[in-house]
């Protein structure tokens, strides 16, 4: 950091203080604040000093106010029980997660590369299927995948973009190396929290970021709208874009509202839309009004009851045929779910090399593919050290964490693996990085991940930073909001 910048800081915030960091011990994990990193312009040390200068009471008071604001602003998800609908906020942690300018350049390039590869892969498997013929990815894994949509074969999408909105889950290992844990190529959620967390931070901790230049996060709505206009049918001057939501009972409804507002487009539900003569219209006070591009937050199978699940009340009969006629654009395209499957994930480094002739910028978590003899042998030999995952499942089901499993559990896993090796992959257990997080005992290290969001129409743009999800329970590796996870503001530094 420059001396000029240093001079601007209020001396009182620089006063050393015992307190919030007492007992903070991140090792053996990589700490996103205190582990030494190059090229941060001194910002990390400055943030550390400013945090140290706050009392625990001050932290608690400001955080409580920030969470009250989030609640009153309705930045909530709704949990439905038998009797009640309870609005909950995603717990907000006030200690920001900092990404240096250099780290971000690498992450951004890595995400762009990955999105390119995902789109090329999808185009290929719905057209010539060269990658299958060349034996790079087993054909059965793709064509037999429940998320592979034969309806999509030979159907061209504008710019070859299938995944317009992509969220890529990234973790950082003990050495500080970023690794992709999962691709989300269907309807990734959470981006609204990136922007709302920044606003919450600006309200509650304006002094913390004073004089530190951060990459802004509020351009997302504009970029998303641009991408949707890019893919709207040609010849439409001023395309009508809408966001299609399952409605107020969906747990991500707040985000749907947020994005519709940011883009300035109507938020519609299935029943607001109607297809006539293979064109899509919305019901307005003046009758039917044409719709040209749809950002849908509804899964493939609910989109159109005439093509997929006939019992879906959320979708629009005839939507898919209107889309196939080229009369309306859909983001994301139908059939992207095959690309973010765990089984395909293992092949992503090969997929990137195959289409782009480049090395992956972002590494995968090392993955053993058990359908391959070497992978199976290595997995069987190291089962107690590995995490064993079934390929078809999601949401953490069916996973065996070797180092935490009993002997009996390990034997059961071994039996399942031997019975059907093709259904399994295995990975080493990653010691996820940590960041200081407010707990009842003061600031303590808690594990976190990062989900950057990429928007692609004609080209790909990545929102600086992304969503940092943090496991609030000590030692927990589960960052999901449904299991006690919270989130942090993510700061991407401008200066090096």
Which spans of this chain sit near other proteins (rule: CB under 8 A)?
Answer: 72-74, 240, 243, 248, 253, 257, 260-261, 266-269, 271-272, 282-286, 289
Nearer to other proteins, 261 or 385 (CB): 261
Residue placing its CB nearer to other proteins in the complex, 232 or 434: 232
Under 8 Å between Cβ of 75 and 467: no
Q: DSSP secondary structure string, 166-227?
A: EEEEEEE-TT--EEEEEEE-S----HHHHHHHHHHHHHH-TTTSTT--B---TTHHHHHHHH
Least CB distance to other proteins at residue 254 (A): 8
Residue 70 three-state SS: helix
Quote the least distance from Cβ 240 to other proteins, whole Å: 8
Q: How far is the CB of 217 from other proteins (least distance, A)?
A: 17
Task: Say how far apart CA 16 and CA 48 lie, in whole Å.
Answer: 10
**Which CB atom, from 12 or from 84, has the smaller least distance to other proteins?**
84
Shortest spacing between CB 30 and other proteins, in angstroms: 38
- Minimum CB distance to other proteins, residue 197 (Å): 16
Q: Which is nearer to other proteins, 3 or 285 (CB)?
A: 285
Q: Which residues contact residue 451 at a Cβ distance below 8 angstroms, ignoring those fewer than 6 apart?
A: 167, 168, 169, 170, 184, 188, 190, 466, 467, 469
Q: Closest CB to other proteins among 64 and 271?
A: 271
Alpha-carbon distance of 52 to 198, in angstroms, equals 21
The residue (of 289 and 480) whose beta carbon lies closer to other proteins is 289
356-114-386 Cα angle (round to 5): 110
| Residue nearer to other proteins on the CB measure, 86 or 381 | 86
**Least separation, in Å, of the C-beta of 75 and other proteins?**
10
DSSP strands (E only) in 261-360: 267-268, 273-276, 279-284, 287-290, 293-296, 329-331
Instruction: State the CB neighbour count (10 A cutoff) for residue 193.
Output: 28
Contact 187, 299 (CB under 8 A): yes
| CA 65 – CA 58 distance, rounded (Å) | 11
Contact yes or no for 263/241 (Cβ under 8 A) = yes
How many Å apart are CA 413 and CA 417, to the nearest integer? 6
Q: How far apart, in whole angstroms, are the C-alpha atoms of residue 224 and residue 256? A: 13
- Dmax over CA atoms of the chain, in Å, equals 71
CB of 83 to other proteins, least distance (A): 12
Tokens describing residue 293: 């591009």
Which is closer to other proteins, CB of 288 or CB of 399? 288
240 vs 364, beta carbon nearer other proteins: 240
What's the closest the beta carbon of residue 288 comes to other proteins, in angstroms? 9
How far apart CA 338 and CA 135 sit, in angstroms, is: 17
CB of 247 to other proteins, least distance (A): 8
Burial zone of 380 (CB within 10 Å; 0-12 exposed, 13-18 middle, 19+ buried): middle
CB closer to other proteins, 70 vs 386? 70
451 burial type by CB count under 10 A (0-12 exposed, 13-18 middle, 19+ buried): buried
CB of 366 to other proteins, least distance (A): 44
């Amino acid at each position: 950091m420059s001396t000029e910048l240093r001079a601007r800081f209020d001396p009182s915030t620089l006063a050393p203080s015992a307190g919030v960091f007492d007992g903070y011990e991140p090792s053996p994990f990589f700490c996103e604040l205190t582990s030494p990193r190059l090229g941060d312009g001194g910002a990390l040390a400055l943030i550390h000093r400013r945090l140290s200068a706050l009392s625990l009471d001050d932290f608690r008071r400001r955080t409580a106010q920030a969470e009250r604001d989030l609640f009153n602003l309705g930045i909530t998800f709704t949990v439905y029980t038998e009797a009640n609908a309870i609005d909950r906020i995603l717990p907000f942690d006030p200690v920001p997660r900092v990404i240096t300018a250099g780290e971000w350049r690498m992450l951004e390039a890595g995400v762009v590369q990955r999105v390119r590869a995902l789109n090329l892969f999808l185009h290929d498997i719905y057209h010539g299927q060269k990658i299958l013929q060349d034996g790079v990815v087993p054909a059965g894994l793709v064509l037999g995948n429940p998320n592979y949509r034969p309806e999509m074969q030979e159907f061209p999408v504008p710019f070859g973009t299938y995944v317009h909105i992509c969220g890529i889950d990234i973790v950082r290992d003990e050495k500080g190396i970023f690794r992709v844990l999962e691709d989300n190529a269907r309807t990734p959620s959470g981006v609204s929290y990136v922007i709302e967390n920044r606003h919450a931070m600006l309200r509650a901790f304006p002094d913390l970021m004073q004089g530190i230049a951060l990459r802004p996060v509020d351009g997302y709505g504009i970029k998303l709208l641009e991408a949707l206009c890019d893919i709207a049918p040609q010849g439409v001057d001023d395309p009508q874009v809408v966001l299609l939501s399952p409605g107020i009972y969906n747990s991500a409804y707040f985000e749907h509202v947020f994005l519709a507002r940011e883009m300035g487009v109507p938020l519609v539900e299935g029943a607001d839309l109607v297809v006539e003569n293979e064109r899509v219209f919305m019901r307005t006070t003046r009758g039917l009004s044409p719709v040209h591009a749809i950002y849908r937050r509804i899964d493939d199978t609910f989109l159109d009851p005439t093509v997929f699940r006939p019992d879906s009340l959320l979708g629009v009969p005839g939507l898919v045929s209107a889309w196939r006629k080229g009369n309306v654009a859909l983001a994301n395209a139908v059939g992207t779910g095959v690309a973010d499957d765990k089984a395909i994930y293992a092949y992503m480094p090969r997929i990137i090399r195959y289409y782009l002739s480049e090395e992956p910028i972002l590494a995968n978590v090392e993955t053993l593919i058990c359908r391959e003899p070497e992978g199976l042998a290595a997995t069987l030999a190291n089962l107690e050290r590995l995490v064993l995952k079934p390929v078809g499942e999601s949401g953490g089901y069916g996973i065996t964490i070797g180092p935490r499993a009993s002997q009996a559990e390990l034997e059961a896993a071994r039996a399942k693996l031997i019975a059907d090796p093709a259904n399994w992959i295995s990975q080493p257990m990653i010691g996820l990085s940590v960041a200081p997080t407010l707990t009842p005992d003061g600031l303590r290290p808690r594990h976190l991940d990062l989900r950057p969001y990429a928007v692609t129409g004609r080209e790909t743009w990545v929102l600086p930073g992304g969503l940092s999800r943090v496991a609030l329970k000590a030692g927990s590796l589960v960052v999901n909001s449904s299991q006690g996870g919270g989130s942090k503001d993510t700061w991407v530094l401008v200066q090096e």
